Amino acid sequence: MSTFGERLRGLREEKGLSQDRAAEIFGVKRSTLAMWELGTRKPRKDKIDEIRDYYNVSYEYLMGDSDYKTSLESALAIVKEHYSDPSFKSTYNEALKKLFSKYSSVDQNDAYYFIIIKFYELTPEHQRIVSDMIDMYYEKDK
C-alpha cells in the first residue's frame, strides 16, 4: 500500500494541480505541501480532513491503509468477497429488504422520487457501485 505522501501526490496529479496551486487551496506554503508529499512531515488532523474532503476520498485511503478511494468502494469489495458465504448473503439481503421496505411504506411515487434524487446526487462512480450492489441483491433469486 502507498504512504500518505504518495497518495497526496497522486491525488494532486490526478486533478492536474501544481504544488503551488494545491498549497494555495489548502492554505499552506508550497514547501509544506512538498514535505507532506515527501513524507518528512504530516499535516494536522484538520488539514487531513480538508484534503480528504477536497479529493473526496476516505481517511483510510488517504493514509494508505486502504486501496479503495471511498467507503462505498470498500463496501462493495466486502460484499463481493463474502457474498458466496450463505450467512453473509442472508444478512446482506435482509438489510436491502429493510431498505427497500422503508420506502414502500410511503407513497410509491414519493419513494421512487426520493431514491432517484438521492441516487443522482452521487458521483457517477458511486452510482456504479450502488448499482452493482443492487444487482447482486436481485441476482440472488437466479
CATH class belonging to 4-62:
mainly alpha
pLDDT in tens, 34-87: 999 999 999 999 999 999 989 988 888 899 888 878 766 666 677 777 777 777
Interatomic CA distance for residues 62 and 49, integer angstroms: 10
Residue 17 has pLDDT above 90, yes or no: yes
User: Residues 25, 17: contact at Cβ < 8 Å?
Assistant: yes
Round to whole Å and give the CA distance between 24 and 31. 11
Do 129 and 72 contact (CB within 8 A), yes or no?
Answer: yes
Domain map (residue ranges) of the chain: 4-62, 71-139
